[in-house]
Structures are given as C-alpha cells and as structure tokens.
C-alpha cells in the first residue's frame, strides 16, 4: 500500500458554534457523540477520529422541532459533505448521496452518513440528534480495485492530496450553511440541492421504484399501482 500523504496532526479550525473533540484508539466518534449528547453537551459538538485510512466524525444537534422534521439534519450533513468534498476534489470527481446515507464517489461507495437520536418517535421533539460521517481514505484491503467496483476510497479517486482535517473543517462549514438556510428558508432550498445530488431516483430496487422523497425526505417507493412511504426516521440507529 502506498503511504498516505495525509497529515493527521494538523490543528482543527471549526466555524462558530462548533466545538471539536478528538478521540483515538478504538473509540467510535459516533458512539462518543451520542454519549456526550445524552449527558447534555452543547449543540455543535463535533467528535472526530482520523486514521491514515479512515475519517470518522459526528455532530451533536439539539433540535427544537419534532423528530420527523429534525431529521432534515441528516440531509444537511449529507449535502454539506458533498459540497465540502466537491470544493476540494478535482473537478472530474463526482459525488452523490444515496437516500439511506451512502456516499457515492465516481460510482463507488466510499462511506456513509448515519443518525441516532434520544427518541424514535417522529412526533416528539428529541433532546438530541447525532449525525455521523464515516469515510474511507484508503482501500480497506490490498485487493485490486477492479474486483470491488462498487466500493472505493478518496485515494483511489484521485483525492489523495486532500487533508482529512481540512475536509472535516469544510464539512462543518458547509453543513452550518445548510443548517442556517433550513432555519431561515425552510426545507425547499435543501430539497432542491439534495435532489440534484441524489443517487438512484427513478431506479428499481428490490422493494420497488425509488420515486423521490416527501416534504420530510421520506423515501417514496412505487410498488405496482401503489406508493409506499419509508420515513427518514427509519434510518435511526440506537443512540
């Protein structure tokens, strides 16, 4: 494996309202962020871990709206990441998002966005909501990339010069822009941006045809003459 050029010792500079906390070793930033959120940490806490082959991070939110609407933060973080990588990567690198959170770079999956909350009740206002990022910087194995065309990494897609910490900072900045736009203008601008980078709309899946999303970003699946709604809250993991 070629040595990575990433410098993981650089200081992290985050936008206002964000506070960074690095973790190391086997600690999962997503699980750590959930634990900190449950203890009452401030919204904007960004827990992160950077290793030579992987970037993992999670942001704590304290939404003041029902969970069904608050899950839009899952999409703001996804769009924020797409915008962040798009600004740093070579122009030929195409970045898309699958509804369930997979990050698709040049046709291959390289990571995912994930979510957990204090409650799974769509109508309840959660005490906290955590959105996580998990991204491969280098291939998981020594296998030839041609053997796993559906999986990739930043290094394989010509993004080896991007510092993971600069990418993390950019993710925070772009995500904050979309959080503010959601607060000021509602979900319409986010819907427009998300649809432009969504992967798989109009395609067949084992469960039906992915027709798009509703006002709360729930998946609309057409099955014959019927359309089924899968709420975004169905993606929540145990916090």
Q: What is the pLDDT of residues 168-188, one digit of tens each?
A: 999 999 999 999 999 999 999
∠ CA 135-189-184 to the nearest 5 degrees? 100
Query: Which structural domains are found in the chain, ordered by start?
Result: 19-200 (3.30.930.10)
Model's pTM, two decimal places? 0.93
Q: Exposed/middle/buried for 104, CB within 10 Å: 0-12, 13-18, 19+?
A: buried
For 30-61, how does the pLDDT look when each residue is reduced to its tens digit (9 = 90+)? 999 999 999 999 999 999 999 999 999 999 99
Q: In the numeric block, which tokens belong to residue 226?
A: 């019927």
- The pLDDT of residue 143 is 61
- The pLDDT of residue 9 is 47
DSSP lists the bridge partners of residue 213 as: 219
Q: How far, in Å, CA of 59 to CA of 133, rounded?
A: 9
DSSP lists the bridge partners of residue 222 as: 209, 227
H/E element, 232: none
Q: How far, in Å, CA of 18 to CA of 14, rounded?
A: 6
pLDDT surpasses 90 at 3:
no
* Sheet containing strand 19-22, strands side by side: 19-22, 45-51, 54-61, 129-136, 108-117, 102-105, 95-97
Structure confidence at residue 117 as a pLDDT band (50, 70, 90)? very high
Q: How far, in Å, CA of 206 to CA of 208, rounded?
A: 6
Q: How many CB atoms lie within 10 A of CB 193?
A: 19
User: Residue 44 in contact with residue 179, Cβ under 8 Å?
Assistant: no
pLDDT surpasses 50 at 5:
no
Q: How many CB atoms lie within 10 A of CB 38?
A: 14
Dihedral class, residue 200 (left if φ above 0, else alpha if ψ from -120 to 50, else beta): left
- The pLDDT of residue 223 is 92
Structure confidence at residue 95 as a pLDDT band (50, 70, 90)? very high
In the DSSP assignment, the letter for residue 58 is E
């Amino acid at each position: 494996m070629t040595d990575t050029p990433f410098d993981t010792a650089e200081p992290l500079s985050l936008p206002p309202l964000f506070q960074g906390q690095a973790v190391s070793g086997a600690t999962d930033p997503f699980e750590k962020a959930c634990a900190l959120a449950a203890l009452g940490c401030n919204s904007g806490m960004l827990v992160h871990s950077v290793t030579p082959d992987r970037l993992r991070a999670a942001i704590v939110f304290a939404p003041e709206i029902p969970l069904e609407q608050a899950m839009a933060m899952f999409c703001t973080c996804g769009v924020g990441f797409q915008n962040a990588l798009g600004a740093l990567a070579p122009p030929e690198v195409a970045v898309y998002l699958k509804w369930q959170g997979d990050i698709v770079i040049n046709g291959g999956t390289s990571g995912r966005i994930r979510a957990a909350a204090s409650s799974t009740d769509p109508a309840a206002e959660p005490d906290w909501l955590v959105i996580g990022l998990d991204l491969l910087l280098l291939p998981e194995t020594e296998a030839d990339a041609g053997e796993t065309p559906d999986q990739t990494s930043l290094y394989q897609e010509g993004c080896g010069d991007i510092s993971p910490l600069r990418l993390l900072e950019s993710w925070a900045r772009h995500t904050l822009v979309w959080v503010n736009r959601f607060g000021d203008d509602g979900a319409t601008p986010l819907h427009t941006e998300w649809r432009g980078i969504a992967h798989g709309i109009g395609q067949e899946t084992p469960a039906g045809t992915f027709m798009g999303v509703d006002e709360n970003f729930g998946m609309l699946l057409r099955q014959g003459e019927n359309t089924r709604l899968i709420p975004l809250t169905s993606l929540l993991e145990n916090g």
